[in-house]
Structure 1
Amino acid sequence: MINFKTLPQHSSSWLKGRYTLYKYKGFWNSQKFHEWAFVAHKTFKPNPSDVIISSCPKTGTTWLKALTFAIVTRNKFDESSNPLLTTVPHECIPLLEREFEQIEYNRINNNPDFLPFIATHLPYNSLPESVVSSNCKIVYIYRNTKDVLVSNYQFFRKACKVAEEEACFEDAFDEFCQGISWYGPYWDHILGYWKASLERPQEVLLMKYEDMKRDARSNVKRLAEFIGHPFTIEEEKEGVIEYIVKLCSFENLSSLRVNKSGVHSPVGSNGVENQLYFRKAEDGDWEKYFTDEMKEKIDELMDQKMEGTGLVLK
């Protein structure tokens, strides 16, 4: 097991020390999540037909899960019976490092409702070796760095029940720029999947949050084709893609009772209010938080980290 006493550790002042993060194999996480990931790394055996939905936290994970689930189950449910209307998307697609035992249990017992879709926040280099060797599909979503930083700040502040006036955004900013964040550094997380997408383009697909918002229809079609569930010509004519885009939209999901009052409580969790997964979904919300100096600093940092990739995260 992991000897946490020997690892670099950090307790965030802006979260009043509610969480301690440890750096293990190049990325930061809580002790519990590192332990879960360690066991999953040793024991998880995916099927070649599995699809891994991967992301760094607060980059569009909830939306991508909802879209994937809606695409795959579009012929199974009608407009009134879709589970997304009564269930937070995080319960439709389980998280590997926290729910791998549940995944294995469903497989062993041939649960007819279990779908071969598994989410993870793990960096590419920390995925179980069995995932890479299985040649299963991996879909990765990334987002503008500044909006990710603000979304992280608001999510973890609220999850830890720290008032905004007591949570110094400048401290959160400085930590992020040092690479200290859940599953961070953020740039290393992106670069790992970016390199994998170049080496294995048939197995690894990168999707940019802002591009998906700008042209949801084309990107939903692209996603469906990649995961092996393409739309037929008839479905396109009947507006099935538009229906899925609308069903999974922020406006629709955030208005549902389950996402306004429910709690997501997987095994080993104290529970997170579902509404925390639906804050704003706006591009450019960061402008309300950043000074000109902060903007310049993080833009220079990301230009340096992303140099030569062609990826734009400003």
Structure 2
Amino acid sequence: MHLNIMEKSELNNNHINSSFQREKWFGHEFLYEFHGFWFTKTYLETTQKVLENFKPHPKDVILASFPKTGTTWLKALLHSITHRYDTKDENSLTFNHPQELIPSLETNLYVQEIPQNNTNSQEFISTKNPQKSRILATHIPYQIFGGVLNSSDCKVVYVTRNPKDTLISLWHFLRKSKNFEQDPWELGAAVDQFCKGIVPFGSYYDHVLAYREESLKRPQKVHFVTYEELKENPKNCVEKMGEFLGCPFEGENREEEIEEIVKICSFEKLSNQEVNKSSELPKVFPLPYNSFYRKGQVGDHMNYLEDEMIEKIDNITREKFHGIGFMYGI
């Protein structure tokens, strides 16, 4: 069950201190438990702001995901699908990182006051027009965020990825942090904590299953797609997302339109854009723009995880996923 309004207020009456169970992560970071999920101090604070302040519009699209499961790629795809007839937007992915085109609620919009010159983010926060379609991203679990999502007719697109590739992608991502150099997150410890669910926004398994369950119950509300499906058949996935979002590909040029979106949003194309190779830091994120692109490969975990590590994660996957008929992740 997702949080009700009374439960949300719990954060208002508690400071992030010893009243929250916490676990050491890496560097000087701790993770704090809230309703069965784990957050950094910053993410717990910004999640509170999202729960208190965010009101989705009926035409909003919320891109939900567990960290490092293909979020940046989906941002590019969703933006391209919904803006494909906007001539003013033709070169947006050339000059803008997907993270700027589709801001994340708890890591962009509510992490601090938005600078006045950041007009795009200001518009996302302040717009009062419920007819204006916005695309916003979040990592907040459905169990916590479901009440907000269900308060309007907004649509949700959820992407997930093989748990082992997700862990390795997260591990590499964090290696670019200064805290990692001071106190590394050793791979063995990373596997242990991932299996226990003690990672940001974890448990991974509970995160995935709640959104998947909603997609099965209400496919018109939640569209569930895997990273592996996107890699194997991107044209089919783009077509289905267009239909789900209410902007289907139609007419004699539909195949060309789909192929063009797949092309401009390919990993090779995006990772080679100058804006995405930049070592500059976003205004409200501690890692550079180029940290969001590495390999984008399926099965990359085999280059890093030892056999016993793979088996440990697979055992959890069999229990959590295969045990309820979701044959995924192994």
What amino acid does structure 2 have at the position aligned with 1:52? I
- TM-aligned CA deviation for residue 133 of structure 1: 2.4
1:53 partner SS: strand
Task: Give the alignment partner of residue 283 of structure 1, picking from 291, 294, 298.
Answer: 298
Residues 227-266 of structure 1 aligned to structure 2 (within 5 Å): 227-237=245-255, 239-266=256-283
* 1:188 counterpart = 2:200: no
Whole-Å separation in 1 of the counterparts to 2:251 and 2:276: 33
Q: Deviations over 1:251-284 (max 9, x none)?
A: 01111111111535244x4x32111100100011
Aligned to 1:312: 328
AA aligned opposite 2:166? V
Question: Partner of 1:215 in structure 2?
Answer: 233
CA contact (8 A) 1:97 1:120 kept: yes
Offset of 1:300 from its aligned partner? Answer: 1.0
Quick check: 2:212–2:224 contact (8 Å CA) kept in 1?
Answer: yes
- Structure 1 residue 61 displacement after superposition: 0.2
Secondary structure at the counterpart of residue 119 of structure 1: strand
Q: What are structure 2's unaligned runs of at least 5 residues?
A: 1-11, 115-120
2:117 paired residue number:
none
Equivalent position of 2:22 in the other structure: 9
- Corresponding residue number in structure 1 for 2:318: 303
User: Quick one: structure 1 residues 227 and 31, their matched pair in 2 at CA, closer, same or farther if it must change by over 3 Å?
Assistant: same
CA RMSD of the aligned region, Å?
Answer: 2.3
Secondary structure class of the residue paired with 1:141: strand
Residues 212-271 of structure 1: CA deviation (Å, up to 9, x unaligned): 10000000000111111111122324x11111111111101111111111535244x4x3
2:287 to 249, 256, 272: 272
- What secondary structure sits across from 1:158 in the alignment? coil
Checking the alignment, whether the CA contact within 8 Å between 1:157 and 1:164 is kept in structure 2 is no
Output the CA distance in 2 between the equivalents of 1:165 and 1:128. Answer: 35
State the secondary structure of the residue aligned to 1:224. helix
The whole-number CA distance in structure 2 between the counterparts of 1:107 and 1:58 is: 25
Contact 1:175 1:181 in 2 (8 A): yes
Asked if 1:93 is matched to 2:110, the reply is no
**Paired letter, 1:88:** H
User: Normalised by the size of structure 2, how large is the TM-score?
Assistant: 0.86
Distance 2:98 2:77 in 1: 9
**Secondary structure of the corresponding residue to residue 304 of structure 1:** helix
Q: Secondary structure at the match of 2:237?
A: helix
Structure 1 residue 30, shift from structure 2 partner: 1.0
Name 1:57's counterpart in structure 2: 67
Q: 1:105/1:217 Cα in 2 relative to 1: closer, same or farther (>3 Å)?
A: closer
| Greater CA drift, 142-151 or 226-235 | 226-235
Amino acid at match of 2:275: V
- Would the aligned equivalents of 1:144 and 1:313 in 2 still touch at CA under 8 Å? yes
How far did 1:135 drift?
2.6
Sort the Cα spacing of 1:189 and 1:107 in 2 relative to 1 into closer, same or farther, 3 A.
closer
User: Can you give the 5+ residue segments of structure 1 that lack an aligned partner in the other structure?
Assistant: none
CA contact under 8 A between 2:279 and 2:289: conserved in structure 1?
A: yes
Whole-Å Cα distance in 2 between the matches of residues 282 and 147 of structure 1?
Answer: 8
Aligned 1:92-171 pairs, distance under 5 A: 92-98=101-107, 99-100=109-110, 105-106=123-124, 108=126, 115-127=133-145, 129-160=147-178, 162-163=180-181, 166-171=184-189
Q: Which amino acid aligns with 2:21?
A: P
| Cα distance in 2 between the residues matched to 1:235 and 1:201 | 27
CA separation in 2, counterparts of 1:182 and 1:254?
A: 25
Are the equivalent residues in 2 in contact too, given 1:147–1:283 (CA < 8 A)? yes
Identity %: 38
**Counterpart contact for 2:57–2:152, Cα < 8 Å:** yes
Task: Please tell me whether the aligned partners of residues 47 and 134 of structure 1 are also in contact (alpha carbons under 8 angstroms).
Answer: yes
User: 2:33 is paired with a residue of what secondary structure?
Assistant: strand
Paired position in structure 1 for 2:42: 32
> Residue 169 of structure 1: CA displacement?
0.9
The count of aligned residue pairs is: 305
Q: Are residue 73 (structure 1) and residue 83 (structure 2) matched?
A: yes
